[in-house]
Amino acid sequence: MKIDVLIGQLFKNKLKEKKLIIMNTRIDNPGNLENSNRTSFLRKSLSRLLTVFVFIGLLFVSCDDDPIGTDDPDPEPEVEASFTADPENPSIGDEVTLNASGSSVTNNGDIEYSWTLNTPEGSEAELESETSEVTSFPADVAGEFNVNLVVTANGASDGAAESINVTAEEEISSDISDDRTLSSDVTYFVTDEIEITAELTIEPGTEIYFEPGTGFELPEMSGAIIADGTEEEPILFSGTSEQSGWWNGIYLRESGNALNQLNWVTVEYGGGEEFFQSGSGNVIVGRSDETSSIEITNSTLRHSESYGVWVNSDSNLPGFEGNTITENDGAPVNMPANSIHQLDATSNFTGNDDDYIFVRSGNDIDAVDVAWENLNVDYRISGDDSIVITDGGLLTIEPGATLKFESSAYIDLDEQGGLVADGTQEEQIVFTGTTEQAGWWNGIYVRESTNPQNQLNWVTVEYGGGEEFFRSGSGNVIVARSENASINISNSTIRQSDNYGVWVNSDGDLPVFEGNTVTENEGAPVSMPASKIHQLDATSSFMGNDDDYIFVRSGMKSMMMTSRGRTLTQTTELMAATALRSPTALR
């Protein structure tokens, strides 16, 4: 109970007591009390009332509104120090403002601020004030400025600290003809097309921004770009505007320098103008008649207006692994067929407008053994040309890979060139068209190769059978021209040809043919000479084609033909179907 309520109650009780005494007096001595006794009584009553009022006054002076017996001291104050720096990423010449107004204090009292500044070597910067809520310092050199703040209030204190990295800005506007190192303490802005004819080393953490239409170009062997970053401090090549194609990219025109390297690097917003009809992309390697090379590892190439990487004929990516090529307006990579094996499955090629590796045909895989890995995107083979494997070279397609062929494209095995497509039941290999249309591409042509490694196992070949190969017939798979050729086909599906599923010429062989499905073709499943029919097996299925029979070609006949006074000699095979079709001349 509060003290004023208690006093009020005591006062009321005292009045009741006096009233009761007076009433009793009147009852006990009605009309008989003497005046002296009445006077004495009144004096005593007034004295007692006066004593009560004095006691009440003293209580009001000495007491407050707190409950009786309760001791409730002020809670301990709490302080939380914090501050902001503006700008967050200052450059040399900026004035950096430090603002501690975000610090919080309970039970507001007098707040004291104490700032300290530790500067990098060579700096003469000082704080404008060491005790105010808001202060500042000049960013006079590049490096880390360490700021500490202590906030004190009501006997409590708290601290906050931050390292502010000040960078310098420098313009690159002229060619680099002497060895040079770019430092992470400086932010660089490229304002022109820069030729590099010396060694350019770029430190980890360095950032380089390119104005529109600019780029780096290495026109000769002496030029090298050495950009070796780290996971914690990657190197950045970017545009002054975040717009695809804003700058042209890094162009290794004629530099096969072994020092060329992009490691833990991001290249973005390039792919603007084409370099000398050499293609466009964030990174362009080589010219049409020159050899260039560069290692690209652990790097990100993104936001190109064209390809992420373009590699020209006879140029190389001797080291390519752990990269991410994404968010480009074209495909992630454009490369010739004889360089595709340099791509690796540890890299990510997804997230582009065209999610496939663009394979430019017309460059032979000559006398080398290479493998195309199962990447996380398909291979797309350019049209109207061929991937030629020749002179004993060997192309291995890894299980799970998909090759899509543009119109009229094909694979050509010549001069003992070999093809190993050895899939599994779980990871089959697919050769198909970029359009699901019978005859869209020409097929796999084993022209003059008896390479014992030639193999199609757990493979699907579909939508081929377009154009006839040098009067060798047409189908998804064509074996032999005028020379011996052979290939093993097992556990595979051959379908949707515009003609035959498999065409085997007179000197062709299928040493192994088992467990296959040849179906949905617009001709017969197989066309073979009679001498090779025994190579087909009964474990395979030949049903579901427009012509459901095996077409057996038999006999050789020399014919003398006379036309307008000229004598022509033509050798042709006669064909006979098992259904006793009429003989038909080979086209």
530 and 422 assigned to the same domain: yes
* CA dist., res. 543 & res. 520, Å (int): 8
The domain boundary, picked from 116, 131, 166, lies at 166
The domain boundary, picked from 166, 199, 224, lies at 166
Position of tokens 């004629």?
254
Asked if residue 212 is part of any domain, the answer here is yes
* CA dist., res. 235 & res. 523, Å (int): 58
> Residue 521, Cα to own-chain centre: how many angstroms?
41
* CA dist., res. 573 & res. 553, Å (int): 7
Give the pLDDT score at 555: 54
Residue 301 token pair = 């190439």
Is there a contact between 416 and 442 (Cβ–Cβ < 8 Å)? no
Asked if residue 67 is part of any domain, the answer here is no
* CA dist., res. 339 & res. 362, Å (int): 12
Is there a contact between 364 and 390 (Cβ–Cβ < 8 Å)? yes
DSSP characters over 266-321: EEES---S-STTS--EEEEE--TTS--B-EEES-EEE--SSEEEEE-TT-B-SSEE
Distances (CA, A) of 334 to 49, 432, 476: 110, 19, 26
Q: Per-residue confidence of the chain (587 residues) as pLDDT tens digits?
A: 444 444 445 445 544 544 433 334 443 444 444 444 555 555 555 556 555 554 555 444 444 444 444 455 556 678 999 999 999 989 888 999 999 999 988 876 789 999 999 999 999 999 999 999 999 999 998 889 999 999 999 888 999 999 999 988 999 999 999 999 999 989 999 999 999 999 999 999 999 999 999 999 999 999 999 999 999 999 999 999 999 999 999 999 999 999 999 999 999 999 998 776 678 999 999 986 678 999 999 999 999 999 999 999 889 999 999 999 999 999 999 999 999 999 999 999 999 999 999 999 878 999 999 999 999 999 999 998 889 999 999 999 999 999 999 999 999 999 999 999 999 999 999 999 999 999 999 999 999 999 999 999 999 999 999 988 777 789 999 998 878 999 999 999 999 999 999 999 988 999 999 999 999 999 999 999 999 999 999 999 999 999 999 999 985 433 323 333 333 233 333 334 443 233 333 33
| CATH number for the domain harbouring residue 128 | 2.60.40.10
Where does residue 351 rank: exposed (0-12), middle (13-18), buried (19+ CB within 10 A)? middle
383 and 440 assigned to the same domain: yes
Asked if residue 443 is part of any domain, the answer here is yes
339 and 373 assigned to the same domain: no
Is there a contact between 448 and 414 (Cβ–Cβ < 8 Å)? yes
Position of tokens 């377009």?
466
Where does residue 110 rank: exposed (0-12), middle (13-18), buried (19+ CB within 10 A)? exposed
Give the pLDDT score at 279: 82
DSSP characters over 16-70: HHHHHHHHHHHHHSTTT--HHHHHHHHHHHHHHHHHHHHHHHHHHHH--SSPTT-
Which helix (H) or strand (E) segment holds residue 13: the answer is helix 3-28
Asked if residue 459 is part of any domain, the answer here is yes
261 and 338 assigned to the same domain: yes
Is there a contact between 260 and 225 (Cβ–Cβ < 8 Å)? yes
Q: What angle do CA 207, 209, 211 make, to 5 degrees?
A: 175
Give the pLDDT score at 277: 67
Domain count, the chain: 4
The domain boundary, picked from 310, 326, 360, lies at 360
* CA dist., res. 568 & res. 561, Å (int): 5
For 139-280, strand residue ranges (E) read 143-153, 156-166, 168-172, 180-182, 186-190, 193-195, 199-202, 207-210, 215-218, 224-228, 235-239, 249-252, 261-263, 265-268
341 and 367 assigned to the same domain: no
Neighbours of 36 (CB within 10 A): 8
Is there a contact between 360 and 334 (Cβ–Cβ < 8 Å)? yes
Position of tokens 């002076």?
61
Contacts with 101 (C-beta within 8 Å, 6 or more apart), sequence order: 133, 134
276 and 337 assigned to the same domain: yes
Is there a contact between 507 and 529 (Cβ–Cβ < 8 Å)? no
Q: What angle do CA 183, 282, 396 make, to 5 degrees?
A: 115
Asked if residue 291 is part of any domain, the answer here is yes
Distances (CA, A) of 443 to 3, 57, 309, 372: 106, 115, 28, 18
Is there a contact between 339 and 319 (Cβ–Cβ < 8 Å)? no
Asked if residue 587 is part of any domain, the answer here is no
Cis peptide before 87 (omega within 30 of 0): yes
Asked if residue 256 is part of any domain, the answer here is yes
Where does residue 31 rank: exposed (0-12), middle (13-18), buried (19+ CB within 10 A)? exposed
- The closest alpha carbon to 376, from 358, 410, 400, belongs to 400
378 and 517 assigned to the same domain: yes
279 and 226 assigned to the same domain: yes
* CA dist., res. 185 & res. 188, Å (int): 10
129 and 233 assigned to the same domain: no
* Domain with 8 in it: 3-62
341 and 376 assigned to the same domain: no
Amino acid at 68: I
196 and 130 assigned to the same domain: no
Give phi and psi for 411, each to the nearest 5. Answer: -105, 135
CB burial of 455-480 (b: ≥16 within 10 Å; e: otherwise) equals bbbbbbbbbbbbbebeebbbbbbbbb
DSSP secondary-structure letter at 259?
A: T
Position of tokens 């009429």?
582
Asked if residue 533 is part of any domain, the answer here is yes
Residue 223 token pair = 């030029």
* CA dist., res. 403 & res. 367, Å (int): 22
23 and 8 assigned to the same domain: yes
Could you give the 3-state DSSP secondary structure of residue 387? strand
Give me the numbers of helices (H) and strands (E) for the chain, helices first please. 2, 52
For the beta sheet containing 156-166, the strands, ordered from the edge strand earlier in sequence to the opposite edge, are 111-118, 143-153, 156-166
